[in-house]
Structure 1
Amino acid sequence: MNHISNSGDFMGKGLSEKDLGKFKLVGNVDVFKGKAVFQVTEISLKDDDYFSKLYLYDGKRVKPFTSGNKDSNPRFSPNGKLIAFTSKRDKEGKESELYVIPTDGGEARLLAKFKYGIKNLRFTEDGKSIAVVTPIDVEKKGNDDVHIIREIPFWFNGVGWIYGKRNVVYLVDVESGKKKRLTPKNLNVDQIRFHNGRLYFTAQEDRERKPLISDLYVLENRKVRKLTPGKWRILDFLPLDDGSFVLKANTLERGIPTNAHIYHYDPKTGELKKLTKDLDRNAYNSLNSDVRGSQRAELVYKEGWIYYVATDGPRANLFRVNLDGKIERVIGGDRSVESFDIGDYIAFTAQDAVTPTELYIYRDGKEKKVTDFNKWIKGYTLSKPEHFKVKASDGVEIDAWVMKPVNFRKGKKYPAILEIHGGPKTAYGYAFMHEFHVLTSKGFVVIFSNPRGSDGYGEEFADIRGHYGERDYQDLMEVVDEALRRFDFIDGERLGVTGGSYGGFMTNWIVGHTNRFKAAVTQRSISNWISFFGTTDIGYYFAPDQIGKDPWSNLEGYWEKSPLKYAPNVETPLLIIHSTEDYRCWLPEALQLFISLKYLGKRVELAIFPGENHDLSRSGKPKHRVKRLELIAGWMEKWLKG
């Protein structure tokens, strides 16, 4: 593959916005002994849709396995003879369908349909049934189109209306397709596992008053019993033979910035032991990518080791820890491990900054790449990110990168765009960002970094609660200062800035506090913490955690941290991109910023994407994703080149 070198001229063809339609997204791998089944998703610009099917690796070669165009989420049966998966093959219906297919080949057989989709599935230990997590209505609703709402949250980004619904577990018979509900309607179920004939699951009991708390339960003799004390957020778990459990949990000591760790928990004694205390890293892949496959990365227990993915600085690697707390890095490197499972070998999907996701096999200390779905990209010139360290003014080191333009010429100066990630507790690093490659192909330098608030550097680094727009803002400005000092090809008079979600908040904050940028694009952003608290799906608990208290007891603090307060200071031409169904940062965040800036006579435009949500850049309609990239690039070209 061709890359821009760190010095000298380099010519070639870069990626365009419409090249989005060429990516194949590999993920959701499941392993039985020497076989691996996984999902491949195609992005169709022609049909403005996503199509997925299953592939099987038999230990020697990879072959297409299912014929549907919406097949996903595969699971092997305990004896490996069947594979269960979800689909939407009924073109007229909107329901999600549960299928099984023989591993040796044959026709897929429809077992059951579920009105509101399938969130999770897993075979029972004897393989005779499949447990399915699916939403149901827990209260009767009228036949008209009026929404009578009695609870919060009442909607959720990417899902829609969730009031009066809870996720429950149904058991589906593999032969007959007959289904019966196992869990009560008052619990909102997430993860499920079977062990020694019992169903264990995690669930929220009170998502209105305790939205961050999820507990571990067991279903035994048709009765549900809670096993954890109602103080933690349990993300995944493994039952052990002695009646204890391995938990991937967030104990919330620092609120939302707290890292998820791997714990050993004994419900008999109530003792919780942190197994990963020697590695202050989040047991989760927090790296940003806009072309990734489905990320099934559940805990796996094998031969005394618990395997898990964690974000370590700008990389996401596969680690393992034993019950004594010994930690080892299993799959390392400057890359992002996306999904994995273990049988006779470790099968995993991974990507890096210049290589989209593919499937790899790791056996006996040796790694093998077994798919090449994205070999088309070898015909393009890609700018390889160049890493540099920035020593912030308080002495803390910040990871940062620059990407030179495609067709870079030594001695020439180029406009540069500062990209800011969302979260704030996510990270940039060694994962593929199509957006960055589009911008470098159009002659821009891209600068990106992991300022305070980012994941991968420990809880203290990530914890900016109550201090948005302070140290994080300083870090970003010092990254730009250092980039200008180090790289003489950056034109300091032609700087742009963009970001989404928290990155959109920070873009808004930046243009209200400095005029050094000549163009800005804010996306799915927060402009007013007061309105954010009362209109969004997570606002009523996220804002108090991040800003402090609530608007009644901290109105001054909420307004002080709102970019809208500083609208009179804005001189930078600003493009606002937002979506009508973004419930994470609802549309009023964009509307009030746009109207205020227009009222104040500022240079501003607003682009509203109908039917899209907070994940427009990652999973929106393909044509809308292309249009978004065209708008960003066009705005930067107008103000930085025009």
Structure 2
Amino acid sequence: MPKGLAEKDLGKFRLVGNIDAFRRKLVFQVTEISVEKDDYSSRLYLYDGRRVKPFTSGKKDGNPRFSPDGRLIAFTSKRDKESKEAELYVIPINGGEARLLAKFKYGIQDLRFTEDGKGIAVVTPIDVEKKPKDDVHLIKELPFWFNGIGWVYGKRSVVYLVDAETGRKRRLTPKNLDVSQVRFHDGKLYFLAQEDRERKPMVSDLYVLDGRKAKRLTPGKWSVSDFIPLDDGTFVLKANTRERGIPTNTHLYHYDPESGELRKLTKDLDRSAYNSLNSDVRGSQRAELVFKDGWVYYVATDGPRANIFRVNLDGKIERVVSGDRSVESFAIGDYIAFTAQDAVTPTELYVLRDGRERKLTDFNGWIREYSLSQPEHFNVKAGDGAGIDAWIMRPVGFEPGKKYPAVLEIHGGPKTAYGYAFMHEFHVLTARGFVVIFSNPRGSDGYGEDFADIRGHYGERDYQDLMEVVDEALKRFDFIDGERIGVTGGSYGGFMTNWIVGHTNRFKAAVTQRSISNWVSFFGTTDIGYFFAPDQIGGDPWNNTDNYWEKSPLKYAPNVETPLLIIHSTEDYRCWLPEGLQFYTALKYLGKTVELAIFPGENHDLSRGGKPKHRVRRLELIAGWMERWLK
């Protein structure tokens, strides 16, 4: 019998990411997963132009940056076991001991050397007001918590300048701005920040530090996520102008702060300028804009693939790194270095030089010992004529003439996508004897703004697309047993799973994960509810009460006949625990077949970054539920 991937094989993956480049040298981060120790460890590796070798020996080393002269590497770590603070280190490129420069109480979000290499700008959260010494949370603002971080009220991220020799640090930016990214150019510090995250939660602006004052350069109405200062005083911005709310694609723009002129450089490619593909075994992603020889390099999601593109200031666009795969991180020195994965190959490091591509690492070569199911693409013509990308994966050890149960997987977002990226969960299910069906229905990213825009219409065309995908799969693949199909998904996919079981009985088992069941409670409890729900559903619960309830799966709980497992986490602040609790209570009260699994201490990213033992247990629960009801 061929050997498929099991749940506990999660511990074999090596997650490669966070590249930085200096000329022909590369430094990058490799994260290891230990199921036995229930922990993650990471260290830095160096490529000197000839070979890859381990560079640091810490257990929590990451986020490397070269100094401008390439002699030092700055990185973050947590080597002091007694301390909860994040630590900033520097280490000589030619080897030697890493030297601790500074510690930061709430972590390090970004770091970058000054142009002369004498200082390092560090973005870190601080308390902007004194908090009571007791354990009472006195909250005066929104948002009060954020998924994966915890309590954020009374905190703002600021920039500290750390002396690269002495470690002395001083704050550069004011406490009222929440900083996310920094760059130096021509002796000036530029940075991205939010000024009013309560009333303008989707707006982030570009600033310059003018003396001791922060001067805003953009008009306070866009979401700027990256930027490059140019020598003529203009900028390339990676920004979302929000004409269509959240479904608006993020593009690259040329911006002149003097005239206020904003010119879209990537108007000929209606795609998001970032990687939105789903994967549950990816490394730390660093895919910042790079300006080189008149071209701006960036990653964009194009249907089921994420590739590297470049655009010049005239708006000419070229695809630089192509293929049915997901580019995760990249950096450019004397050549292009990038990490990438596909549906059967975990992430590795590659270089592209003089048009020739070469693979540098084989951290996940162990995968070749396993029998993996290659996704088979099929196109579905939806009822309104649109084309939907869909795939099936056959069970490991597939036997012609045999009928197999199937599981429909639904991605989150909704503005993300499935495609040519590795999904451990899918391979676990195929190893257990299931067919896996997945697709990119309306609402998905990578197909243009019209395709992605389902605001106000959740559970309509997107639901129809999914049902038509299942219909087409049954028509094309006679080995799928139409009487034994399950459905699962997380986040938006969890919402849609809840919606499906309230609107059809065709599925014989369902697992809903980190889901939304009630838009009214979602609005008032989650980190993004107060702006995401108005954007996606329309209005608020007071002026659009009917639609908030009509689009809530909780309303249709009396219709549910499908055995349902609800998976939720106690610290999921994106779709907070009450979303799972109230759906479970309703179904239990109504006498339905339902079970609830609650993961303590986990957040919305349980499947991607939770404790290893919890991630394994989650996979066992999903596969076990499907086996219980479909086999």
Q: Fold conserved (TM > 0.5)?
A: yes
User: What is the letter of the counterpart of residue 469 of structure 1?
Assistant: G
What is the Cα deviation at residue 223 of structure 1?
Answer: 1.8
Structure 1 counterpart of 2:6, from 5, 16, 29: 16
Structure 1 residue 384 and structure 2 residue 377: aligned?
A: no
User: What is the letter of the counterpart of residue 221 of structure 1?
Assistant: G
Write out aligned runs for 1:56-455 (5 A).
56-455=46-445
Q: Secondary structure at the match of 1:280?
A: coil
- Structure 1 equivalent of residue 556 of structure 2: 566
User: What is the letter of the counterpart of residue 146 of structure 1?
Assistant: V
- Structure 1 equivalent of residue 490 of structure 2: 500
- Structure 1 equivalent of residue 628 of structure 2: 638
- Structure 2 equivalent of residue 7 of structure 1: none
Structure 1 counterpart of 2:605, from 611, 615, 619: 615
Two-structure CA RMSD over aligned residues (Å): 0.4
Q: Secondary structure at the match of 1:440?
A: helix
User: What is the letter of the counterpart of residue 453 of structure 1?
Assistant: G
CA separation in 1, counterparts of 2:83 and 2:46? Answer: 28
What is the Cα deviation at residue 12 of structure 1?
Answer: 1.1
Gaps (5+ residues) in structure 1? 1-10
Q: Secondary structure at the match of 2:3?
A: coil
Structure 1 counterpart of 2:454, from 441, 464, 474: 464
Gaps (5+ residues) in structure 2? none
User: What is the letter of the counterpart of residue 500 of structure 2?
Assistant: I
Q: Secondary structure at the match of 2:533?
A: helix
What is the Cα deviation at residue 191 of structure 1?
Answer: 1.1
Structure 2 counterpart of 1:592, from 563, 567, 582: 582
CA separation in 1, counterparts of 2:334 and 2:206? Answer: 30
User: What is the letter of the counterpart of residue 232 of structure 1?
Assistant: W
How many residues are matched? 631
User: What is the letter of the counterpart of residue 90 of structure 2?
Assistant: V
Superposed CA deviations along residues 535-555 of structure 1, whole A, max 9, x for unmatched, are: 000000000000000000001
User: What is the letter of the counterpart of residue 74 of structure 2?
Assistant: A
Superposed CA deviations along residues 403-458 of structure 1, whole A, max 9, x for unmatched, are: 00001000000000000000000000000000000000000000000000000000
CA separation in 2, counterparts of 1:12 and 1:306? Answer: 46
Spell out structure 1 runs of 4+ moving beyond 6 A: none
User: What is the letter of the counterpart of residue 314 of structure 2?
Assistant: D
- Structure 1 equivalent of residue 22 of structure 2: 32
Q: Secondary structure at the match of 1:481?
A: helix
CA separation in 2, counterparts of 1:556 and 1:149? Answer: 30
- Structure 1 equivalent of residue 619 of structure 2: 629
CA separation in 2, counterparts of 1:80 and 1:258? Answer: 39
What is the Cα deviation at residue 220 of structure 1?
Answer: 1.9
What is the Cα deviation at residue 339 of structure 1?
Answer: 0.2
CA separation in 1, counterparts of 2:321 and 2:617? Answer: 37
User: What is the letter of the counterpart of residue 583 of structure 2?
Assistant: L
Identity %: 83
Superposed CA deviations along residues 98-117 of structure 1, whole A, max 9, x for unmatched, are: 00000111100000000000
- Structure 1 equivalent of residue 526 of structure 2: 536
Q: Secondary structure at the match of 2:556?
A: helix
Q: Secondary structure at the match of 1:382?
A: coil
